[in-house]
Amino acid sequence: MSIEQQILERSGLQCELSKAKEKLMIYRIPPLGDNDINKCIYISEKCINQLEKKEELDPKFWTFLKESMWSEVPAVQVVSWRMLNRLQNESWAMEALEMMYLDDDVLEWAKATGDHEEATETDLHRDCNGTTLYNGDTVILIKSLDVKGSSINAKMGTPVRNIKLVADNTDQIEGKIEGQQIVILTKFVRKTG
């Protein structure tokens, strides 16, 4: 039986954290090592997006940690511990963390990435009004821009459809204007619809 099949069987085809049954995938827990069933969990897309800080952290969403933290699966314990630490400002999370026990090796693994020490604030791509931007969104330019390296002048009000977020810089997005792929600063765009 493959690792994937073992994980699916272990999970009962539901998120090992939230018990959700839709948009599920196998997630390898950092730091990544060998492909080991004990280092992977089957979780929802929403859990992954918030774990990887691609989406704003929603404390109310994570209240299921009070149950998942008791899992016998070390990978579930590690993710539960890390998320409870990121949610320390919530009284329920602090209480759960105080009750939680991890074996020494599991605790060492949980602390290995330092993710639990980072601020709970997530650095997301935001437009000029502070609205969160996502891949595939349509934005409008709020200022006329000269496109470096070309003769194109992108006029204020120009729509840019199907944008792509620049992975390592939340101040930039990519989009096509007059058929040319360009990088645009998020402070010069406003999300539509």
Answer yes or no: is pLDDT of 133 > 70.
yes
Residues 6+ apart with CB under 8 A from 103: 74
Band of the pLDDT at 124, cuts 50, 70, 90? Answer: confident
Question: Six-digit token pair at 35?
Answer: 């492909």
Render pLDDT for 177-189 as a digit per residue (tens, 0 to 9): 888 889 999 999 9
The pLDDT assigned to 33 comes to: 63
CB 34 within 8 A of CB 62: no
Write out the two tokens for 11.
């999970």
Banded model confidence at residue 117, pLDDT cuts 50, 70, 90:
low
Name the fold adopted by 139-191. SH3 type barrels. (2.30.30)
Residues 44-102: tens digit of each pLDDT: 999 999 988 888 889 999 999 999 999 999 999 999 999 999 998 899 999 999 999 99
Q: What is the arithmetic mean of pLDDT over 138-159?
A: 88
Q: Is the dihedral of CA 57, 60, 64, 66 positive or negative?
A: positive
> Mean pLDDT lowest for which of 16-25, 79-88, 114-123?
114-123
What is the predicted pLDDT for the residue at 116? 60
Q: Distance between CA atoms of 151 and 15, rounded to whole angstroms?
A: 51
Query: Do 180 and 171 touch, CB atoms closer than 8 A?
Result: no
Q: What is the pLDDT of residue 36?
A: 81
* Averaged confidence pLDDT in the chain: 88
Domain positions in the chain are 3-117, 139-191
As a three-state string, the secondary structure of the chain is CCHHHHHHHHHCCCCCCCCCCCCEEEEECCCCCCCCHHHEEEEEHHHHHHHCCCCCCCCCHHHHHHHHCCCCCHHHHHHHHHHHHHCCCCHHHHHHHHHCCCCHHHHHHHHCCCHHHCCCCCCCCECCCCCECCCCCCEEECCCEECCCCCCEECCCCEECCCEECCCCCCEEEEEECCEEEEEEHHHEEECC
Q: Of residues 189 and 119, which shows the higher confidence score?
A: 189
- pLDDT of residue 4 exceeding 70, the answer is yes
